[in-house]
Each structure stands twice: as structure tokens, then as C-alpha cells.
Amino acid sequence: MTRSFILLDMENVMLEKRKYQIIFDYLKEGIQTKKYGVDSYLPSENEICNQFKTTRTTVRKALDELQKDGFITKEQGKGSKVLERRKSLGLLTVKGFSQAVDHKVKTVLLKRPSEQQWDPSISFDLTSDEEESKCIYFQRLRYLDDQPVMLENNWYAANALEPMKANEFVDGSFFKTLSQKYLIEIMGSEQELRAELANEYISDNLGIKQGAPVLHISVRFKTSKADLNLYSEIYCNTAMVPIRNSYFL
């Protein structure tokens, strides 16, 4: 009696994770590392059942979570298909950035990631962990049709993630790099929006007049790594083209 109790307890300590969580993690990693490529299908529910010696209920729980997190979509009669990118989380896009057919898009790294002091211009309160750490800062300028439209200042805690090397950026995207090389996902964001008049520094970078209206966006992105947030202060010239975002259940 005592012995079986100890064994059960051991099992819980050893396993720790729920069975569906193990399957979820296994499949998620497979997607992030491109073992299961975009538009391909995961193994069928019954195959996963056999592989993990479990029942469909448990496998379906894992797949439901993957679907909720935007990694896959299910197609009745066909299978679970890997999606291109996760459900957009209110990520800001310049109108036309996605319909890239008739627009040229370019991102220039003005300042490559390097260790600095936190900047007081960040609009959000830092966590106590972050305040104790130094930070990594990098700056980018995004172009649409050779016209600069977004000036981006980005910070994150140095003790949460090493400074990314400039040549390491996957497709020039910080988020793609996080997902594919570090297996870290964006879990949500908070934004503050302001309309301001461009000062000299902003107007120089965006190639507009001083005093022209600019959209100032402050964002805190929360990630699946508990101690890693990304802070961005973004200035946009919305005269040519508005900034878009959308969200759906």
C-alpha cells in the first residue's frame, strides 16, 4: 500500500507534465523547428494515439490547444494542417505590407542589438527583474516603396535573452527569429497610441517636415518566456498609408 503510493507520487514528480501537455510540446516543437512544415499535415490523431500510447480524447486536447494558439487548423476528413504564422496578435501592419505584390518593403537595421541602459522614454513600467538587468537595444527603419514609414526603437532585458546578432535575423524579423531559433512565442501585447508632432530627430529619419503629425505607438509584447518582454516605441508617418491591425476570436 505504502509502496504503491510512493510510486504514484514518484510518477507525478518525474512526469510533472500532463500527458496532453507532453504531446502539445512535442508537436509545437515539431512545428517551430519546421519538422512539420507550413501547409503540411501533422500525423493523424490515431497515429499520435499509437505513438504516445493514449486515447483520442487526450490527443485531441493537445491538438485543440495548438489550434487555439494558432499553430494549426483542422480540416475534417483531411487532417491537422500547419498554419503559415500564428494568429496575429494585434501586430501592427502598414496597410499594403501584407499585400506585398504591388509594394516594395524594406527594413534597415539602424542600430544593431547591443547592451545599454534602459531608456526613460519607454512608456510602460518595467518589472523589478528588468530594472535590475541591463537591456538590449536595437533600432530599425521600415520602408514602403522606398519611403520610410516606421521608426522603431526596441528594448528587452539582457538577462532574459542574449543580444541577437544582426545576421541571425530570420527574414529580417525579430519575431520569426524568436520563434524559429529560440522557440519563444508572442503571447500578447499592450499598446498606447498617441498623435504627436514630429520633432527634428523623427522628421529627419522619416523624411517629413518638422511639426508634421506622426503616430506614436508604445508597445509591450509579452512572450512565452516569463521574464522576456519586448518594449517598442514606434513613430509612424501615416500620411501616405495608415497603420492597421485586427483581431478576431
Q: Which residues bind a second copy (CB under 8 A)?
A: 57, 64, 68-70, 87, 89-90, 95, 123, 187-197, 213-218, 222, 236, 238, 242-249
Cβ-based nearer residue to a second copy, 135 or 243: 243
Compute the distance between CA of residue 19 and CA of residue 49 in angstroms, rounded to an integer.
11
Q: Which residue has the cell 486536447?
A: 61
44 binds, among DNA, a second copy, none (CB under 5 to 8 A by kind): DNA
SS3 assignment, position 73? strand
Q: How far is the CB of 227 from DNA (least distance, A)?
A: 24
Compute the distance between CA of residue 126 and CA of residue 192 in angstroms, rounded to an integer.
15
Compute the distance between CA of residue 32 and CA of residue 25 in angstroms, rounded to an integer.
10
Cβ-based nearer residue to a second copy, 71 or 138: 71
Cβ-based nearer residue to a second copy, 188 or 207: 188
Q: 78-85: long-range contacts at Cβ-Cβ below 8 A with a sequence spacing of 24 or more?
A: 78/41, 79/41, 79/42, 79/44, 80/41, 80/42, 80/45, 81/39, 81/40, 81/41, 81/42, 82/31, 82/36, 82/37, 82/38, 82/39, 82/40, 82/41, 82/42, 83/38, 84/38, 84/39
79 binds, among DNA, a second copy, none (CB under 5 to 8 A by kind): DNA
223 binds, among a second copy, DNA, none (CB under 5 to 8 A by kind): none
12 binds, among DNA, a second copy, none (CB under 5 to 8 A by kind): DNA
Q: How far is the CB of 195 from a second copy (least distance, A)?
A: 4
Binding positions for DNA, rule: CB under 7 A: 8, 12, 18-21, 41-42, 44-47, 53-58, 60-61, 63, 74-80
Give the bridge partners for 220, in sequence order.
Answer: 190, 231
End-to-end CA distance of the chain: 49
218 binds, among a second copy, DNA, none (CB under 5 to 8 A by kind): a second copy
Cβ-based nearer residue to DNA, 54 or 224: 54
